[in-house]
Amino acid sequence: MGDTGMAARDGIFAGDDPFALAQSWLAEAEASEPNDPNAIALATVDADGLPNARMVLLKEIEALGDGTGAFVFYTNYGSAKAQEIEAAGKAAFVLHWKSLRRQIRVRGVTSREDGPQADAYYASRSLKSRLGAWASQQSQPLESRSTLMAEVARVTAQQGTNPARPPFWGGIRITPVEIEFWADGAFRLHDRFRWTRTGPNDAWDVVRLNP
């Protein structure tokens, strides 16, 4: 691993695997953050290059133990974010915790997770959430809330109490080429370490950044 910042990294920044480090930070946040410690601000761009951002819930940090891994969230593939990701093949997000005064920024390439892993996550959700995934045409115009609830009732009668995962709903995996770990410092002299690599299978290079 081409780590130019290894000697300077200790404490909360220590370790050779950025995915394991991200997992440990999230675990800490789960004990201190009052709401949704796994909430990320996801950024995409549309066909005109206009940026778009929204909050979604990160569901998995995959750490494979050799410095490789990915971040996974789930969505309707017809949604604006999924369509923009499909077109660009790239996305970015920031995971920020006020309670810890830390954040993680990620940029990378994307792929779908629509196999057994997505089936298992879908099955773990509440029945109402599973039926809601069938009923909602995410990001499309909606006449009224009553229209949506009528559609929920329709799919409930159609799908029953054990619906399969909709073919238009699943995971999106972000495999990063850049991860930045940031922690608040006194007098706004923050600590920042940026992990970068040329491609998803290349070795990481780590540098300390000015605040």
C-alpha 109/C-alpha 69 separation (Å) is 12
Q: What percent of the chain has pLDDT over 70?
A: 96
pLDDT in tens, 87-99: 999 999 999 999 9
> Which tens digit of pLDDT belongs to each residue from 41-62?
999 999 999 999 999 999 999 9
Name the helix (H) or strand (E) containing 173: strand 169-183
Question: Residue written as tokens 């909602």?
Answer: 136
Mean pLDDT along residues 127-133: 96
Residues 6+ apart with CB under 8 A from 24: 15
Contact between 167 and 112 (Cβ < 8 Å): no
Query: What is the chain's percent helix, strand, coil content, to nearest 5?
Result: 30, 35, 35
**pLDDT value of position 67:** 87
CA separation for the pair 153, 82 (Å, rounded): 26
pLDDT of the residue at 63? 94
**DSSP strand pairing (191-196 vs 205-209):** antiparallel
Mean pLDDT within 123-148: 94
Say if CB 129 and CB 123 are below 8 A apart. Answer: no
Q: Tell me what pLDDT residue 105 has.
A: 98
| Contact in structure between 76 and 149 (CB atoms under 8 Å) | no
> Rounded to an integer, what distance in angstroms lies between the CA atom of residue 198 and that of residue 145?
46
Mean pLDDT confidence for 68-86:
97
- Report pLDDT for 18: 96
- Which one from 130, 188, 197, 208 is the annotated catalytic residue? 188
Which spans in 14-98 are helix H? 18-32, 80-88
Instruction: Look up 188 and say whether it is catalytic.
Output: yes
d(CA 194, CA 177): 10
Helix 127-135 with 116-124: angle, nearest 10 deg: 120
Contact (Cβ atoms closer than 8 angstroms) between residue 67 and residue 203: yes
At 8, the pLDDT band (50, 70, 90 cuts) reads low
What pLDDT was estimated at residue 5?
44
Q: Kindly state the average pLDDT of the residues 58-84.
A: 95
Q: Span 139-167, mean pLDDT? A: 93
| Tokens encoding 60 | 């998995």
Amino acid at 68: T
Q: What is the pLDDT of residue 43?
A: 98
Which amino acid would we find at residue 58?
L
- Write down the pLDDT at residue 6: 46
**pTM greater than the 0.75 cutoff:** yes
